[in-house]
């Protein structure tokens, strides 16, 4: 198989169903392979050894972290050019011991807290007391364990032996049924023009999605957005009557063109991707309807032939598949070095459209895709969002994100350009833009939830961006588009467009996802948007996006999120030698993704759409998992697999610090670990031996908690072709284990530069996934540990798949991650990135930057929105 030519993404179109027991097919080969996973568990002794090694190394780790603070420029401090150090055993690691113990659970909590502290210090020196990253959920689980442990006689007060095995797996949320999809299975037409019955769990076919579906979304968004672009600081929203019967195009005198912010991929613009353009054409989504046949062949045979990974498929009930062409930021056409723009003729029937993925210019003559929101704009300009009674945040320069500083100059220049056009250049000439520039705003109920209130997000509670938003809200009462300068378009998805935005009056950058509600409703995509919104509101994790605010304005739902300037892993992989990551780098990325998935599962979220395109790279080189609209939400009920051992006496085993203040999570910080674990009256070697024995006994005696929603079930055909798990393709119903399958594909792709089952077309790919055995190329050379992990994950029967039983806890124990400090990985120096991959904005040299802006300025007269 060659390199990827695209990514096929299956978009969930139906409601999640509960299925009873789904059939399982045995695959002897995979079962044999699966047995291998049983062999990698090392002894407790080894685990303890690692623990002590980590303790010893922790101080040095701190030094490394602290050194990162010492730089003139936050962005320059980004360790992009530094070698990766993920292989350094700095801590006991979570993985090479027996199932996660109470001790480990505590340690994870503690180390997370510690690592967050360090990370927050790096990001913002204002951070003084980071919260616990996994917040209430983990606390709840922990509390439950504490209760249980207490009830069983296990003292948790020592703070050292409080190990809990926490396995995270999605749990069944909807009642299992006979295997049919419910009548009310939601059909998401996303990209598909036709849908089939949702009653059949079988997949009848796929309809290539029409790219115009996106046009509708974005034309609507753009028409409204353009009213704000560049106007943010001169808010002169026309007070005109709302036009409800027909689009009210902006006055042609203004400019005659619909202007759009320059679009580019920060991480990819410096590189020509012409050679690899096919690979970059990904994410077509297919909409696939379950057929009445359970035979894979039936399914596969009906798949549209599409080699593009950009095709997303929604498996619903129909045999229709719609192909959606999306622009890939890294595609050749968008890397020409200048901002990509397309004039939008005033004639709405001839709207030039730039494919988001392949950059081909398309045209649509259909008004059907012009969102109604373009037609009616009320005169109100009350962008809303409730003021928050948010938490107080350290008042500091808004440089929480390193990108703030680095991009400030760029931002200002872009702002200048944009502002200079405020007096009319943003008029919209397309049919959809006939409305006035005035805007109506409705206060979203949801805005109350987020706003600037970070109360339920202790992880990011000290982020100065909270304070910046809160300040705006205090001044204006509500946050809205008028408070944001949209600087450029970052990308476009199925349900909305993401822009880079600056909060006016600050240098704080955000990624704002704008979704047209009417379009979503018309396309029945509202549930996806709602799912994403709800999930985003729950998140508080270093490797997941922070939602700072949400509001509805002009019938546009806006999510104000953390901006991730480093592009995505798919683009980044293209820049690697051989288009694959070195193993240490791959390990780093998959480890962070694993933690993000673990957290999501703990929250009852089965992600279902893991792929490099959805992994964004932060300015500090760490990752952020995005895109939750295809996720399955379910409930999680932590289950105590094993209560504490009746004959164990953790108090006595815990050593001299037992029952002391060691209950403090930071007990495991290096500074206090020594007193906790090292009786001073014993020789070092003896102390170590004693502690190992004690710890081993403690681990054996601790309760084990499974918080993985193992019974989660869905029958939707959701995902990306090359990443689809066999059980999804077979329509047998799927659960949390699909994330571990995709995790295996993900690791494979990072290491080998391609996915393992990719065929000549989507049908072949799906057939390969179900029928073909896993094979590894001869090159590049990949370690046996990595291959073994992939084998364990890519077991076709979910029940035999690594992670099925205890979720991420199982996977973390694999030797591939040996020596990795899970709790401190956030403070680990990220992999070295290629020279061309600068974070922030693509052109970093003054000259280049100037050129870039000149390019932008050259088109200033006709700043355009490119539709796709």
Ligand X SMILES: Nc1ncnc2c1ncn2[C@@H]1O[C@H](COP(=O)(O)OP(=O)(O)OP(=O)(O)O)[C@@H](O)[C@H]1O
> Would you tell me which residues interact with ligand X (CB under 6 A)?
283, 329, 490-496, 498, 511, 513, 545, 561-564, 568, 614, 616, 626-627, 629
3-class SS at 187?
A: coil
Smallest distance from ligand X to CB 519, Å: 13
Please check whether residue 796 is in contact with residue 343, taking contact to mean a CB–CB distance below 8 angstroms.
Answer: no
Query: What residues contact 784, with CB distance under 8 A and at least 6 apart?
Result: none
For residue 671, how many other CB atoms are within 10 A of its CB? 12
Residue 527 or 656: the one with the smaller Cβ distance to ligand X is 527
Burial class (CB in 10 A: 0-12, 13-18, 19+), 845: exposed
For residues 679 and 658, give the distance between their C-alpha atoms in angstroms, rounded to a whole number. 11
Please check whether residue 628 is in contact with residue 494, taking contact to mean a CB–CB distance below 8 angstroms.
Answer: no
Residue 266 structure tokens = 């920060």
Smallest distance from ligand X to CB 326, Å: 6
For residues 216 and 865, give the distance between their C-alpha atoms in angstroms, rounded to a whole number. 13
Strands (E), 643-796: 704-706, 719-720
The length of the chain is 868
Smallest distance from ligand X to CB 227, Å: 21
Which of 715, 757, 756 is closest to 735 using CA atoms?
Answer: 715
Smallest distance from ligand X to CB 230, Å: 20
Candidate list 47, 372, 494, 609, residue with the active-site label = 609
Residue 727 structure tokens = 């059980």
For residue 263, how many other CB atoms are within 10 A of its CB? 27
Burial class (CB in 10 A: 0-12, 13-18, 19+), 779: exposed
What's phi and psi for 595, nearest 5 deg?
-65, -40
Question: In which residue are the tokens 């930057």 written?
Answer: 849
Residue 258 or 498: the one with the smaller Cβ distance to ligand X is 498
Residue 400 structure tokens = 């929480």
3-class SS at 270?
A: coil
For residues 231 and 261, give the distance between their C-alpha atoms in angstroms, rounded to a whole number. 12
Smallest distance from ligand X to CB 475, Å: 25
For residue 235, how many other CB atoms are within 10 A of its CB? 17
For 276-325, give the DSSP string. Answer: THHHH-EEEEEEEE--S---HHHHHHTSPP---EEEEEEESS-SB-----
Residue 155 or 405: the one with the smaller Cβ distance to ligand X is 405
For residues 867 and 363, give the distance between their C-alpha atoms in angstroms, rounded to a whole number. 9
Smallest distance from ligand X to CB 490, Å: 4
| Start-to-end C-alpha separation, the chain | 30
Residue 34 or 283: the one with the smaller Cβ distance to ligand X is 283
Residue 10 or 84: the one with the smaller Cβ distance to ligand X is 10
Smallest distance from ligand X to CB 501, Å: 10
Please check whether residue 216 is in contact with residue 369, taking contact to mean a CB–CB distance below 8 angstroms.
Answer: yes
For residues 281 and 355, give the distance between their C-alpha atoms in angstroms, rounded to a whole number. 10
Smallest distance from ligand X to CB 276, Å: 17
For residues 133 and 118, give the distance between their C-alpha atoms in angstroms, rounded to a whole number. 13
Check if 158 is active-site.
Answer: no
Residue 31 or 836: the one with the smaller Cβ distance to ligand X is 836
Smallest distance from ligand X to CB 494, Å: 3
Residue 390 or 567: the one with the smaller Cβ distance to ligand X is 567
For 90-125, give the DSSP string. Answer: -S--SSSSSS--HHHHHHHHHHHHHHHHHHHHHH-T
What's phi and psi for 736, nearest 5 deg?
-65, -25
User: β-strands 497-503, 623-625: how paired?
Assistant: unpaired
Residue 9 or 518: the one with the smaller Cβ distance to ligand X is 9
For residues 80 and 82, give the distance between their C-alpha atoms in angstroms, rounded to a whole number. 6
Residue 329 or 458: the one with the smaller Cβ distance to ligand X is 329
Residue 27 or 628: the one with the smaller Cβ distance to ligand X is 628
Instruction: Count helices and strands (H / E) in the chain.
Output: 24, 22
Smallest distance from ligand X to CB 152, Å: 44
Chain residue at closest Cβ approach to ligand X: 493
Smallest distance from ligand X to CB 364, Å: 19
Residue 265 or 711: the one with the smaller Cβ distance to ligand X is 265
For residue 667, how many other CB atoms are within 10 A of its CB? 23
**Residues designated as active site:** 609
């Amino acid at each position: 198989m060659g390199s990827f030519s695209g990514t096929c993404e299956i978009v969930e179109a139906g409601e999640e169903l509960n299925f009873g027991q789904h059939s399982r097919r045995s695959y002897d080969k995979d079962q044999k392979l699966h047995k291998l996973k049983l062999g990698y568990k090392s002894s407790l002794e080894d685990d303890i050894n690692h623990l002590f090694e980590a303790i010893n190394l922790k101080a040095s780790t701190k030094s490394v972290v602290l050194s990162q603070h010492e730089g003139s420029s936050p962005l320059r401090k980004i360790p992009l050019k530094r070698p990766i150090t993920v292989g350094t055993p700095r801590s006991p690691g979570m993985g090479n011991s027996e199932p996660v113990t109470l001790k480990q659970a505590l340690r994870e909590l503690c180390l997370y807290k510690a690592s967050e502290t360090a990370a927050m210090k790096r990001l913002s020196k204002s951070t003084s007391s980071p919260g616990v990253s996994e917040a209430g959920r983990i606390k709840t689980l922990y509390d439950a364990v504490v209760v249980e442990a207490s009830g069983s006689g296990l003292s948790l007060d020592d703070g050292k032996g409080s190990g809990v095995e926490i396995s995270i797996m999605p749990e069944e949320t909807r009642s299992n049924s006979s295997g049919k999809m419910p009548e009310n299975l939601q059909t998401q037409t996303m990209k598909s023009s036709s849908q089939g019955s949702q009653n059949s769990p079988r997949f009848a076919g796929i309809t290539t999605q029409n790219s115009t579906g996106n046009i509708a979304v974005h034309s609507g968004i753009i028409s409204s957005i353009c009213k704000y672009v560049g106007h943010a600081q001169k808010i002169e929203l026309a007070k005109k009557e709302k036009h409800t019967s027909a689009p009210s195009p902006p006055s042609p005198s203004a400019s005659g063109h619909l202007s759009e912010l320059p679009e580019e991929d920060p991480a990819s613009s410096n590189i020509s991707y012409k050679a690899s353009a096919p690979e970059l054409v990904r994410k077509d989504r297919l909409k696939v309807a379950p057929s009445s046949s359970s035979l894979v062949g039936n399914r596969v045979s009906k798949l549209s032939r599409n080699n593009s990974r950009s095709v997303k498929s929604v498996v619903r009930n129909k045999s229709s598949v719609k192909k959606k062409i999306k622009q890939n930021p890294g595609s050749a056409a968008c890397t020409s070095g200048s901002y990509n723009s397309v004039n939008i003729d005033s004639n709405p029937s001839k709207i030039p459209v730039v494919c988001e993925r392949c950059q081909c210019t398309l045209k649509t003559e259909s008004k059907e895709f012009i969102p109604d929101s373009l037609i009616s704009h009320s005169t109100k300009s009350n962008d809303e969002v409730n003021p928050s009674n948010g938490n107080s945040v350290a008042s500091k320069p808004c440089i929480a994100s390193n990108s703030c500083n680095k991009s400030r100059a760029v931002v200002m220049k872009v702002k200048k350009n944009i502002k200079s056009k405020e007096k009319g250049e943003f008029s919209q000439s397309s049919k959809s833009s006939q409305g006035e520039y005035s805007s109506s705003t409705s206060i979203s109920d949801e805005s109350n939830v987020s706003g600037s209130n970070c109360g339920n997000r202790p992880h990011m509670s000290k982020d100065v961006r909270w304070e910046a938003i809160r300040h705006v809200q205090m001044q204006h009462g509500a946050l809205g588009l008028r408070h944001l300068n949209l600087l450029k378009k970052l990308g476009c998805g199925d349900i909305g467009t993401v822009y880079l935005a600056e909060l006016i009056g600050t240098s704080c950058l955000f990624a704002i996802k704008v979704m047209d509600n009417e379009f979503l409703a018309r396309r029945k995509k509202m549930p996806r948007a709602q799912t994403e919104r709800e999930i985003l509101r729950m998140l508080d994790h270093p490797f997941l996006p922070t939602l700072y605010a949400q509001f509805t304005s002009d019938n546009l739902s806006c999510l104000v999120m953390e901006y991730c300037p480093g592009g995505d892993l798919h683009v980044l992989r293209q820049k690697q030698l051989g288009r694959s990551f070195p193993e240490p780098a791959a390990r780093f990325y998959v480890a962070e993704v694993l933690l993000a998935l673990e957290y999501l599962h703990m929250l009852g979220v089965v992600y279902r759409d893991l792929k490099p395109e959805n992994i964004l790279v932060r300015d500090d080189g760490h990752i952020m998992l995005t895109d939750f609209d295809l996720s399955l939400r379910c409930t999680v009920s932590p289950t105590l697999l094993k209560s504490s051992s009746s004959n164990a006496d953790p108090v006595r085993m815990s050593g001299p610090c037992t029952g002391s203040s060691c209950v403090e999570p930071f007990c495991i910080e290096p500074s206090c670990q020594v007193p906790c674990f090292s009786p001073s009256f014993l020789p070092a070697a003896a102390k170590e031996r004693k502690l190992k024995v004690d710890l081993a006994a403690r681990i054996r005696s601790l309760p084990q908690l499974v918080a993985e929603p193992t019974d989660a079930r869905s029958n939707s055909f959701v995902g990306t072709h090359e990443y689809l798990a066999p059980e999804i393709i077979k329509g047998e119903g799927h659960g949390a284990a699909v994330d571990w399958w995709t995790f295996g594909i993900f690791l494979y792709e990072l290491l080998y530069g391609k996915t393992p089952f990719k065929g000549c077309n989507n049908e072949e790919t799906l057939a390969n996934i179900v029928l073909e055995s896993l094979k590894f190329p001869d090159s590049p050379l990949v370690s046996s540990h990595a291959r073994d992990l992939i084998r364990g994950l890519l077991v076709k029967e979910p029940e035999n798949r690594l992670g099925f039983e205890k979720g991420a806890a199982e996977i973390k124990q694999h030797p591939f991650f040996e020596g990795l400090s899970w709790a401190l990985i956030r403070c680990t120096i990220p992999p070295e990135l290629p020279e061309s991959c600068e974070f922030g904005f693509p052109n970093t040299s003054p000259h280049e930057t100037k050129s870039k802006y000149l390019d932008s300025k050259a088109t200033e007269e006709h700043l355009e929105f490119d539709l796709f």
